[in-house]
Amino acid sequence: MKKWIAALTVTGILFSGPLTSEAALGDRTLKANMKHQDVVELQSVLQKKGFFNSSHRNVYFGKSTKKAVMNFQKKHGLRADGIVGANTYKALGVTKKTTSQVKAASYSSSSKLVSEAKKHLGTPYKWGGTTPSGFDCSGFIQYAFKKGANVSIPRTVADIYKTGTKVSSLKTGDIVFFETYKKGASHAGIYIGGNQFINASSSKGVSIASMDNSYWSKRYIGAKRILK
């Protein structure tokens, strides 16, 4: 029991607050302190234009993102308020994506995520592990999302559970959560389709399991969607 608890308990960076719901870049106003996948895309656009210098892109609209937006706005004669609205999107050259384009981007991101996750099948479990030499469950998910989808997510299961959009119908790339040794989310994996998920378990390391497995099905508490 102690081994199981230790294997699933990690300390990490707090990243509280819900992630806003999904949409295509250009569909919503973005501003400081928001958490949304569109922020990652915004940072990418700003980086290509030479205004966002950090290689660490993530879903949080923090000080560095606001500064980049303000510098861009000043350069283009816009009100430098750090808020990304219609005029700033237009100057950035961002146009609304069609539904088919959004779906294609979503499929591409989730496909790359799962591909990256599967590269590490057989990797041993390591308490507090965040690298291919050994993962714990949340360290594995965080690594796969960063390497496979270029999205930064929280370090602990509890904090990951606070992000994203709650979903009842699963699709590839969703994060599935389980209640194991304590009340609330304490274990998680990445849904890969076919009613299966990939996770780093203390007994099998990085491996694929079925949602129908008697152990996991009894402990399943829901899923969150971070990728569009």
| DSSP code at position 155 | S
CA distances from 221 to 8, 94, 178, 204, 209 (A): 16, 38, 5, 21, 16
Is 137 labeled as catalytic in the residue annotation? yes
Given 87, 137, 150, 195, the catalytic residue? 137
Contact criterion met (CB below 8 Å) for 190 and 117: yes
What are the counts of helices (DSSP H) followed by strands (DSSP E) for the chain?
8, 8
Is 87 labeled as catalytic in the residue annotation? no
Q: Where are the alpha helices (DSSP H) in the chain?
A: 2-8, 37-48, 63-75, 86-92, 99-118, 137-149, 157-160, 214-219
CA 188 to chain CA centroid, Å, is 13
> Which one-letter amino acid corresponds to residue 106?
S
Tokens matching residue 152: 């930064």
Is 199 labeled as catalytic in the residue annotation? yes
Are β-strands 134-135 and 187-193 bridged in parallel, bridged antiparallel, or unpaired? unpaired
Tokens matching residue 193: 């389709």
Q: What are phi and psi of 176, to 5 degrees?
A: -105, 140
Given 58, 150, 187, 213, the catalytic residue? 187
Catalogue the active-site residues: 137, 187, 199
